[in-house]
Amino acid sequence: MNASDLKRKYSFNSIRMKLIFGVVILTFPLIAILIYYSVYSTEVVRNQVADSYKNMMILYMSQVDNALEDIDKYMNNTMVADSDFVSYQLANTDYDYYFSKILMSNKLSNDIGMFKAVDSFFLYAPKRDDLMRITQERSTVEEEEAIFAVIRQTANENTDPNRFNKKNWYVQKIEDTYYMMHIYKSGDVYFGAGIKAYELMVPFRTTDFGANGGALFAKRDGIPMTNVDLVNRNEVQLRSGMENYYLSGNQSRFLVVGESSAKGDFNLVALVPDEKILEKLPYLQIIVALIALACLISLPLGLYLLRRTVLLPLNQLMAAMKRLRGGNFEARIEAKRASDEFILVNETFNNMMTQIKELRIHVYEEQLSKQKEELLRLQLQINPHFFMNSLNVLYNLAKVGNVELMKGMSLSLIRYFKYMFRSNLSFVKLKEELEHTRNYFRIQEMRYPESLTCDIHAPEFLMDTNVPPLVIQTFVENAVKYAVTLDEPTNISIAIDVVELGGAPSMNIVIQDSGKGFPEEVLTVLQKGESLFTEEGEHVGIWNVQRRLRLLYDHDAHISFSNGSPRGAVIEITMPIHSKL
C-alpha cells in the first residue's frame, strides 16, 4: 500500500474515520466522567478526613497552648508576687541564698504536680553558677549535666535583654530529646520550665491514624521532634505553614494535616495514610473501576462489530471500485454475509458491472468494425496522379510502338493494382510489401529513366514478419513525388532493422532520399503531429499511414520526420514486430 492509499484510507473525510471518531466521541466522555467522578469522590472524602483531623489538631493544640499559657502565668505570678522568689533573687549572703533556695525548692516541688505537662522547673543564678531543677520524674546525672550546660550556655550567650521577656516557647534539643522551653529573667536570676515533646503525645497513643500513620510535633522549619522514624522512613516533607493539608511521602502517601502553636515555634502534625482515607470508598472505587473497565472493553468490541458490519463491506466495495478505476472491468464483489443495505449495494454493483461489460463488448465490436472499414477505405485509396501518369506513359509507349515496354509497364501495373486491391488483409508479410515497393519503382523508372535509383536493405529473418500494407510504399511514393526531378539523379534508400523499444523488440524502418528535403514549414507541421492537406482539401498519404498505424498499434508505433545531412528527407518508422489485432 503506497502513501496515497494510506492517506485516503485514514483521511478524516472518509466514512471509516468518521465512524471510528464517532464511537470514540461517544465512549471517551463517559470514561472521562467516571474518572472525574472517581477523582472528585476521592477528593471529597480526603477533604472530609482532612477537616476531621484538622479539627482534632486544632482542639489538642488549643489544649497545649492553654497549658503553656497556665505555666507562663504561674511563672509570672511567682516572679512578681512570691516572697520566697524575691528572697532568692535578693540574697547576698550564702546563708540567705541557701535558705531561700530551700524554700523555693519546696514551693516548686509542691506546685509542679499541678502541671502534668511540665517535665521540670529550674532556677539558675549565674553569679554563683548554681542550678536548681525540680522534675516530675527522676533524671540521670548525664541528663542533669546536659540540661545544666544548655541553660548555662543560653544565659551566658544572651545579648538581647528582651529575649527572656517574650511570651513564646522555643524548641531546644538536649542530647536526643526535644524540649519546649520558656525562660524568664528577673534581675540576675533565670526562671524557666521545660516540657519533653514526646510527653505531649500521650493523648494520641489511643487515636487511630491507620496502621502506618501517627501524630508528631515538628519545628517550624520542618524538623520532626517526635515520631522521627515515621517521617524519615517515608520521606515525608513537613512544611512550616499548616493552613492547608497536602499529600507527601515516597513509597506510601500520607495526608499531612497540622496546626501551628500560638505559644511557640512548633507545629502539631498528623500523618494519615492515604489508603486509610480511601478505604472508606471500597465499593464506589470497585464500581467505578468496573464501569471504566467495561467501557474500555466495549470500545474495541464496538469497533470490531463496526468493522464487521460496516467497514469490511465498505472496504470490499472500495476495492472493487479501485479495480474498476484501474481498468479491470471483471471486478466483482464476493457474496458474503452482510447487512441488507450492503447486500443490495453489492448486487446492484455486480449487475451494473455485468451490463457495463456487455455494453463494452458491443461498443468494442462496433469500433472494431468501424476500424476495419476505415482501414479498408484507407488501403483502397489510389493516388489519381499516379494513375493518370501511368496511363499517360502507356499512351506514349503506344504512340512510339514500343510493345515490349508496354508489356512490362502493363504487367507492373497489374501487379500494383492487384496488391492495392487486397482489401481483406490488415497485415502482409514484409517481403510482399518490399516486392510491391520494387514493382512501384519499376513503374517510376519508366517515367524517369536514368533519374531514379533505389536501395533496399532488410535482414532475411524479418521477411516473414507482418507489417501493415502500403506503409513503406506510401512514403516511397511521397519521396518520388517531391524529390525526383529530371535535372539530376535521385536515390531513395530503405533500411530495415530490429531495435529494442520499451523492453520489447520493434521493427525500425528508415526511408531516405537525396532530394531537397522537407520545407521548414512542412517539417514543423509534421514534427508537431498535425495534418497536411492537398490543394484539393484531402489528406495526403502521410496522414493515411499515421491513421492506420494508430488504429493498429495505438501509441506503440511512432513516425519521425527530419532532413538529412547535407540534404534529403528522412522518415523513420518504429512499430512492434507483433500486431495487436
Q: Is the pLDDT of residue 349 over 80?
A: no
For cell 543564678, name the residue: 125
> Is the pTM above the cut of 0.75?
no
The answer to whether the beta carbons of residues 159 and 81 sit under 8 Å apart is no
Q: Please give the angle made by the CA atoms of 101, 107 and 108, to the nearest 5 degrees.
A: 90
pLDDT tens, residue by residue, 474-519: 888 888 888 887 778 889 999 999 998 877 889 999 999 988 888 8
The residues facing 124 across adjacent strands are 131, 190
**Assigned C-alpha cell, 463:** 521477411
Do the beta carbons of residue 567 and residue 483 sit within 8 Å? no
Q: Average pLDDT, stretch 328-332?
A: 73
Q: Which residues contact 107 (CB under 8 A, 6 or more apart)?
A: 78, 82, 84
Please state, in angstroms and as integers, the Cα–Cα distance from residue 113 to each residue in 120, 178, 224, 230, 319, following that order.
10, 21, 28, 32, 97
Rounded Cα–Cα distance for residues 457 and 378 (Å): 27
Q: What is the mean pLDDT of residues 402-410?
A: 81
Instruction: Kindly report the number of other CB atoms within 10 A of residue 570's CB atom.
Output: 17
CA 210/CA 275 separation, integer angstroms: 9
Own/partner contacts of 391-399, CB < 8 Å, gap of 24 or more, are 393/443, 393/446, 393/447
Q: How far apart are CA 301 and CA 505, in angstroms?
A: 58
Asked if 425 and 469 touch (Cβ cutoff 8 Å), the reply is yes
- Stronger pLDDT, 215 or 402, i.e. the higher one: 215
So what's the pLDDT on residue 580? 43
What pLDDT score was predicted for residue 532? 67
Query: Which letter, b or e, does each residue of 40-52 get, where b requires 16 or more Cβ atoms within 10 Å of its Cβ?
Result: eebeebbeebbee
Domains annotated for the chain, with CATH where assigned, are: 17-63+207-280 (3.30.450), 82-199 (3.30.450), 283-373 (no CATH), 380-576 (3.30.565.10)
Distance CA 263, CA 272 (A): 25
Q: Which of 437, 425, 381, 459 minimizes the C-alpha distance to 552?
A: 425
Q: Is 355 helix (H, G, I), strand (E, B) or coil?
A: helix
pLDDT at 539 > cutoff 50: no
Give me the percent of the chain exceeding a pLDDT of 70.
78
pLDDT of residue 480: 84
Give the N- to C-terminal CA distance of the chain in Å, as an integer. Answer: 35
Cell numbers 522568689 correspond to 85
The DSSP secondary structure of 153-169, one letter per residue, reads HHHHT---TTGGG---B
- Specify the pLDDT at position 485: 77
| Average pLDDT value for the chain | 80
Residue 294 or 191, more confident: 191
Average pLDDT over residues 394-402: 79
CA pair distance 133, 45, nearest whole angstrom: 49
